[in-house]
Structure 1
Amino acid sequence: MRYKKTVTLSILLATVVMLSAFMPTQQQERKATNLKVLPKNISHEELDKIMDGWKVALGVKCNFCHAAKKDDPKRLDFASDEKPEKEIARNMVRMTAKINSKYFHVKDKKDGKAMLAVSCITCHNGKEHPEAN
């Protein structure tokens, strides 16, 4: 009886040890590359949040600015500068930052952080290209 308990416990322990070898290890946070306007130390979450905002403001998907990978066209190469829309987006970010720093010094009353007075949606309104008035 005692022998059965020892064998069962040993098998159970060996199974746990073996399965733990196949458990995923804690992944390192993915770091974006080729950032020219956004902070180089931006977190993946914050980068996704910004990109999602731009997608909504322009009514587009990621492939509007990001090119497909050469070796896997179903996936995007986020670091690539192949598409001219990506450089246009960078220039637009620089432009809105310049406008906001020069003309708008609005602070949120709750936390004191600067609020953007002009952003992508100001002109784009959910369209790829702003409409001329």
Structure 2
Amino acid sequence: MTSRTEAGARRTTCRCGAPVLRQLVGRRAALDVTADAAPMPAPEAAALREDNRLDWCLRYPAGGGPDLRWADCHRARDPCPYPHVIDHQCTGPAAPRTPRTTRKTPAVPDGQLTLGAPQ
């Protein structure tokens, strides 16, 4: 996980080519959110919600870039005045997996002792 000093989402591109917003949302148990960059009204985003696909409230603080927040505004009587975005569902090819090796090949022939490198 990378540490970021500035708050808010960063704009990037998914491997499928779609523009997305990425941000750690939450203070304690933060979620690494990748959401579609296209904003939509709150009721439209709520209709796209699924068990593993959430919508996020998109705000633009004064002088700042986009900032994703929990969309807990669905419980309010009045509709949320802010645009919303929905979790991204990637349609691109799967990232190639590189095989992991658990053993290092010895730098010396079998049977020869080696000294550890000073640390």
Same fold (TM over 0.5): no
The structure with the larger Rg is: 1
TM-score by length of 1: 0.20
Instruction: Flag the structure with higher strand content.
Output: 2
Greater relative CO (CA pairs within 8 A, separation 6+):
2
TM-score by length of 2: 0.22
